[in-house]
Every structure is written in C-alpha cells, then in structure tokens.
C-alpha cells in the first residue's frame, strides 16, 4: 500500500507549496510546476493532472474566459486521464456568470438509447439481473455520450473563443504525448481484464504483450488528436449526426472483442440516430442557504445538489462551529445517512420521474429529518422521509430503494477567470476505463454509464425512480458546487468518487465553512462516507484516528476501513479540487496533495 502522510504532514506540504511558486515575469509566462496549491491573480485552474491544468492556464492567458478554459482542461484530461475522462463520457457543469450575476448549469449526462426498456440488464434466459461486471463490459452499458455536446453548448452560450480554439491544447498533448505516471499504471492494472478484452483498447493502452505501459514512457494518441481536429473543424455535428457518431454506434453494436478474452461481451442497442438526437440540456441549479452562504449545485438527473442541499439543511439546525468536533462529525454522518435514504427513494431523471425537488430542499422537511438525530447512531437502512407538505416530524416512510452501482472513477475540475466567472465541472466515463471499449481509430474509451441505472426494483412493489427507459438519463451523484457570499463567488469545489462524491463535497463544505479550515486543508483532511449503510466507509487516516474511536464509543458509529487491497488508489475517497476567491482579485487554487498521486493547481500570475 502506498505510504500515507498524516494530516499534519499534508498541511505542511500545502503551506510550503503555497509559498514556493516562482515569480511571474512581466515579459514571459511563469515556469509552472505540478503543485497542489497555487496563489495569485489573473485566473486559476485546479484539476487532477498537470498537463490539463496547464492547458486551462494557456487558454486564460490567451484571453479565454473560465468557460473556454474549462473545456480545454476537460479535453486534455481526455488525453492524459483516459480511464476517467474523454469524449466517450458525460457530466455536469455549473457556471457562475459574472456579467449577469447568475448561476447556470448544463446537463451533459449520457442518455439511454431509444430501444431501452426497464429490462435492459435482465438476462432473457433467466429473468434475473445480469452480474454487474458482465453488464459493464458490454455494449449494453454504453450511453449516448454527452461530453462533446456539453463543451460545445458551454462555449457557444458562454465562452469568448471558438470551440475549435479551445480544443487546441488537447490536440497538442495528444499529438506529442505525455509521460506515464505510477498512478496511470495503477489504473491500467486495475482495468487490465477489461482493456485486454478489446482489440482497440489493447492496441492503444497496453504493450504488445497486453500488459500495462512502463512508468516514464511516453504515450502518444494520434487517433484522439485526429478526432479532436475534426471536432475543431466541423464542430459537434461531426459527432452528433456525423461520422464520429456513426463509429460510436457501430462500436457499441459490434464491440471489437479480442478473440482470447474469457469475458462474455454482449452487443449494445445504440444507433447512429440515438447519437444524432442527443442534446445537452440547460437546467435550473439547486440552491440552499447555509450559514448565510448561497450554495448552488446540480439538479436531477444528478442527485448531488439535492442530497448535499438536504444534508446542509438538516445540519443548519445544529451549532457545528461551536460544538465538540466529535459531536459535529456524528451529526454530519447522521445527516448524510438520512439524506441518502431520501436520495435512493425519490431521485431519478426529473424528465421521467416526479422528483419532489422543492420538498427535498425544504427547511420544513429538513426539520422532520433532523429530529431523528439523537445521541446514538441510527440503524441503516434508514427509511426515507416524506418530502411533501404538510411535513410531519419524525415519521419515517416506507422501505428504502436501491443504492445502485455507481463507479468511483470520475474527475472534477474548477476554473475561475479575472472577470469573475467560475466553472465547477464534474465528468466521467463511469467505472475505471468505462466499458473497456475503445472506439477503433478514434482514440477514446466509451462509458458504462447505463449501469448507473438500477437493474431491478428493490422489491416487485417498490417504485424505483432509477430504472432504465428510452431517452432517460441515469441518476448520478456528481456534485459540482459553487458557493456565493453576498451574491458573488466565495469558493467552488467538487470531487470524483461515485456516490461518495456527495459526502466528500459535504465534508469539505463543513471543513471550510463550519470548522474554519483553509480550503487546501479542508480538501486534504481524512474522509468518512456514510450513505445509509450499516457501516461508514473511512479512509485509513480517519479509521485509525482518535475521532473515529470516539464516534464509535460515544455514539455507536461503526466504520469500515477503505483499503487498497489490490491497488493503493483504492484506499482514497475522492480526488477533490477547489478554488477560493480571495480579496483583491486573487485566487487560491487547491487540489489533492496526496490522493491518487496528487493533483495540479495553477494560477495565471503566481504570487
């Protein structure tokens, strides 16, 4: 297992990084280096990977705004973090527009093809749900990608440069290549059976012997460089209604299976028409007021904004800033437990399901959930509440629904520019390496987002809001978040991690707002994730802490250590990034100092 620095060491690393940034010259760009924290002016970027963050800074320096830079970062992550990002996936973008003083969001979630039914993952021979892994590495798991549609929509509506210009940094990295890191190889090892199962994935990502690439070697992706060039030249119609969309649909219908694979690979049901019909949708953001701050997030089909917002509403009735830290963390765990019960029962794609969004974010409903939190941990699964007025205190409702199969491998990026625009963008191809299927000759992996649907209801009589249907988008936990103070951005944050995204973002919000931690320390702090389960998943540094022991002995909380039994990267919960907007037009960009090898924070003009 990778050695883990304790929080005190992590904090020291952060402080050193924040003061060691080289001085910028008035005549030439600063010499950027990978670091978890950067402070300065002119704009800021934080992501999981240095080349991607640098691409965003290049766009900001060239006159692009935060929206342009976010697209450049995301496209470059598709090159350097291909197992968690790229044109074959989708995500959610939350944007603060300084010119109009408003928050807007774009839903780029993948969509189920027109032939989808609630029986998508039911084996016709047995009438039983498919094993998850068999469903994942199949064409059935691939949803119509929404990534490129999101990028194009964002730039067309809110950018100041052209879509093609914003793709140029990614084209350069794909053409010239990047250095393979230990974290990249760990991801290859974790996804090895799936990458080995498809000829196109073996050719792009593995050695001729079908093994992971060597640390320190250079990976070039001329196919993806060509794909990006065509998108830059022709725009999103090259994918949606064009030859790239046809190639995607053909790959889903006839996966390029390697003859020697032991895996059963089922064909999918996506057509070129499904791809052509995809639209990235504008959605109203979620909003709650917490401790005088306005917290904006993503609405359904994401559950992130509603679940985080409900938990904040529950916690608003406690005095976390002045309480004993153990008691405050107990209340955080219990609020998360209750909010997840409601998430699982009520949240799905609101275009298909009557999601009670107003009720879930009502302070009145939160009061009925808060009163269930006493002096002892609740026993999960806790039943959901009733988010419909009139709200009846302390009266749980019927059985809980499925929690689903969300993968933990995603990415989150944040950008802020000198004009005051801010972007918080979470995107993914779902599990590590997605479906495992690379589109031949195109240089990117396809998602397995359809496995985020529940395969079957919890019981035959339970209404499940997250079953597959034609044109439906599966429930997600992605939680890109922007926090305003007095109507202007105060900070922004988000994280990957599947369903743990919600608890990671929530814990960082509490660390920063209630516990007064600087944003880098709030991100670095050890994490625990309670999602209405019998035990709470905890990172090793949290699991072995005195706080965890006190939570167990005093409040009856029970923890399971999140371990990297196969790979060190599995012991982490999340991989967050954030930006704190400082007085005087300055920024503090923050990424992970240790998790997954550490992220990359940059500013245009370092202090």
pLDDT < 70 positions in the chain: 1-29, 395-409, 564-570
Q: Which residues contact 271 (CB under 8 A, 6 or more apart)?
A: 113, 114, 115, 249, 253
Bond prior to 390 in cis (omega within 30° of 0): yes
CATH number for the region 7-12+46-281+407-606 comes to: 3.60.20.40
Q: Which two tokens stand for residue 523?
A: 């991100």
Q: Which two tokens stand for residue 488?
A: 């202007």
Digit-coded pLDDT (tens) for 55-86: 999 999 999 999 999 999 999 999 999 999 99
C-alpha of 586 from chain center: 26
Residue 333 · residue 552 · CB < 8 Å: no
pLDDT score, position 219: 97
Please tell me the distance from the alpha carbon of residue 116 to that of residue 121, in angstroms, as a whole number. Answer: 10
Please tell me the distance from the alpha carbon of residue 300 to that of residue 420, in angstroms, as a whole number. Answer: 27
Strand, coil or helix: 277:
coil
Per-residue burial over 128-157, b if 16 or more Cβ lie within 10 Å, else e, is ebbeeebbbbbbbbbbbbbbbbbbbbbbee
Q: Tokens 């406690």 — which residue?
A: 318
pLDDT score, position 596: 87
pLDDT score, position 9: 38
CA nearest neighbour of 60 among 509, 414, 321: 414
pLDDT score, position 247: 98
How many percent of the chain have pLDDT more than 90? 87
Pairing of strands 577-582, 488-494: antiparallel
Give the DSSP per-residue string, 348-399: S-TTTS---HHHHT-HHHHHHHHTT--SSPPPSSPPP---SSSP-TT---S-
Q: Which residues contact 521 (CB under 8 A, 6 or more apart)?
A: 7, 10, 11, 14, 511
3-state SS track over 185-232: HHHHHHCHHHHHCEHHHHHHHECCCCCECCCCCEECCHHHHHHHHHHH
Which residues are designated catalytic? 410
Give the DSSP per-residue string, 516-558: ---HHHHHHS--EE-SSSSSEEE-HHHHTSHHHHHHHHHH---
Look up the pTM and report it: 0.93
Angle between helices 66-80 and 163-176 (to 10 degrees): 30
Residue 71 · residue 163 · CB < 8 Å: yes
Residue 145 · residue 447 · CB < 8 Å: yes
Residue 329 · residue 315 · CB < 8 Å: no
Digit-coded pLDDT (tens) for 339-382: 999 999 999 999 999 999 999 999 999 999 999 999 999 999 99
Residue 263 · residue 454 · CB < 8 Å: no
Strand, coil or helix: 468:
coil
What are the domain boundaries of the chain?
Answer: 7-12+46-281+407-606
Please tell me the distance from the alpha carbon of residue 328 to that of residue 26, in angstroms, as a whole number. Answer: 47
């Amino acid at each position: 297992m990778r050695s883990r620095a304790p929080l005190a060491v992590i904090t020291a690393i952060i402080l050193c990084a924040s003061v060691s940034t080289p001085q910028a010259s008035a005549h030439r760009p600063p010499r950027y280096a990978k670091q978890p924290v950067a402070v300065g002016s002119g704009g800021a970027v934080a992501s999981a990977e240095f080349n991607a963050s640098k691409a965003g800074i290049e766009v900001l320096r060239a006159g692009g705004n935060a929206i342009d830079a976010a697209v450049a970062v995301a496209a470059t992550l598709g090159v350097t973090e291909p197992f968690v990002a790229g044109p074959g996936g989708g995500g959610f973008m939350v944007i603060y527009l300084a010119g109009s003083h408003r928050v807007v969001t774009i839903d780029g979630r993948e969509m189920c093809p027109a032939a989808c039914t609630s029986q998508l993952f039911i084996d016709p021979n047995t009438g039983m749900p498919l094993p998850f892994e068999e469903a994942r590495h199949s064409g059935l798991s691939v949803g119509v990608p929404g990534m490129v549609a999101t990028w194009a929509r964002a730039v067309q509506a809110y950018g100041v440069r052209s879509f093609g210009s914003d793709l140029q940094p990614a084209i350069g990295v794909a053409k010239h290549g990047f250095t393979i890191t230990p974290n990249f190889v760990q991801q290859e090892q974790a996804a090895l059976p799936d990458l080995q199962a498809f000829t196109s994935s073996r050719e792009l990502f593995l050695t001729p012997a079908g093994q992971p690439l060597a640390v320190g070697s250079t990976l070039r992706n001329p196919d993806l460089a060509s794909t990006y060039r065509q998108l830059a030249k022709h725009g999103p119609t090259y994918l949606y209604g064009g030859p790239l969309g046809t190639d995607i649909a053909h790959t889903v219908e006839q996966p390029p299976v390697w003859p020697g694979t032991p895996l059963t690979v089922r064909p999918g049901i996506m057509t070129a028409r499904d791809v052509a019909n995809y639209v990235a949708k504008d959605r109203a953001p979620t909003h709650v007021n917490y401790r005088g701050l306005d917290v904006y997030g993503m609405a359904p089909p994401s559950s992130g904004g509603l679940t985080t917002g409900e938990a904040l509403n529950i916690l608003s009735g406690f005095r976390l800033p002045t309480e004993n830290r153990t008691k405050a963390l107990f209340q955080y765990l219990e609020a998360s437990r209750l909010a997840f019960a409601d998430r699982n029962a009520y949240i799905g794609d609101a275009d298909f399901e009557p999601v009670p969004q107003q009720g879930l974010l009502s302070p009145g409903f939160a009061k009925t959930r808060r009163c269930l939190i006493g002096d002892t941990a609740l026993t999960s699964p806790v039943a959901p509440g009733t988010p419909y007025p009139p709200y009846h205190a302390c009266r749980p409702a019927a059985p809980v629904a499925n929690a689903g199969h969300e993968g933990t491998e995603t990415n989150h990026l944040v950008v802020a520019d000198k004009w005051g625009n801010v972007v918080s963008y979470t995107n993914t191809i779902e599990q590590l390496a997605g479906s495992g299927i690379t589109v031949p000759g195109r240089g990117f992996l396809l998602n397995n987002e359809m496995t985020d649907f529940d395969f079957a209801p919890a019981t035959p009589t339970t209404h499940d809001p997250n079953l597959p249907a034609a044109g439906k988008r599966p429930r997600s936990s992605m939680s890109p978040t922007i926090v305003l103070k007095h109507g202007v951005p105060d900070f922004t944050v988000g994280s990957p991690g599947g369903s743990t995204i919600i608890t990671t973002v929530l814990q960082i919000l509490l660390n920063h707002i209630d516990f007064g931690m600087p944003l880098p320390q709030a991100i670095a702090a050890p994490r625990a994730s309670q999602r209405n389960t019998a035990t709470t998943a905890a990172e090793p540094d949290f699991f072995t802490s005195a706080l965890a022991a006190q939570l167990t002995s005093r409040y009856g909380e029970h923890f399971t250590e999140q371990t990297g039994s196969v790979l060190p990267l599995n012991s982490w919960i999340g991989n967050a990034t954030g930006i704190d907007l400082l007085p005087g037009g300055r920024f503090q960009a923050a990424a992970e100092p240790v998790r997954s090898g550490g992220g990359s924070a940059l500013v245009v003009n370092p202090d």
